[in-house]
Structure 1
Amino acid sequence: RLHQAAVIQTLSKDMEVYWYLLRGRGHSLGSQPLQEHLLLRTWQSDPSSGPLFLSSVSTEHPDVQVQGIRSHIHSSLYLLEPTGTIKTRLTHVCRTDTRGRSQEWHSRVSGHLLAASLLSIRDSFSSDYRETNI
């Protein structure tokens, strides 16, 4: 749930530094720590120029002190494409680290985890894969 949010700096009519803090779910003894996001956001809001979009990536700003676990948005894109007079297709593509891992961790470890996940998906389609009765 959104706890706080603010525009830290407006860079142009279609670009800003945006900060928000999410409150974790759970009761007071077992609740998750606050999740902080500091983003450089840019958007295209003129439908005559093509599809509308909102793109975000994590950034740093000297005026913002860390208030929780700093999540890292590697890339986030919301794409809105008109498909008719009253219909719009919304596509969201995002790569996020909500645990505050370092960029070094992502360089060394996340690729291996992703490759292992893709291999598991591939193997699930092989003829050797059997359904289990649970």
Structure 2
Amino acid sequence: MSITLTDQDKLTLRTAAYGAVSLLSAADAAGSPHKVATDGSIALASATGPVGHVLAEKTKGAKLSSKSVAGIADQVLPALTAAMSLLKKQDPAEADNFRSIVIVAVEAATRAHKGEPSPTMAEMTRKITGALDAA
């Protein structure tokens, strides 16, 4: 099945995926947030399928307009749920692909943290997964 995404839909997907990595990076402020962001972003850049093409587009957008973690979460968590909803309506398999892409990026980002993820990163991971599953 083919999916049709508007520019706004694509922006929602990019905001959701890259925003999830940004949230984890912010949650690891005391550790190595740049490594978290790099590893998560590499995972997103390695995505395949229609969503992979959207994430690979070099366009402006997906700007997170807050400097606080709470503000970023206010943008990203609803975007994750919205992305899943719009993809489920068009192609449930692509919704599953998007979920997998984000989960792999989250795992790559948290693996960048030395040792076990901090309680803050673990909680942020739970919130990201909850937002993906809320649709």
TM range (shorter): under 0.3
Higher Cα radius of gyration: 1
State the TM-score, normalized to the length of structure 2: 0.23
Relative contact order, higher structure (CA 8 A, sep 6+): 2
The structure with more helix, counted as a fraction of residues: 2
Query: How high is the TM-score relative to the length of structure 1?
Result: 0.23
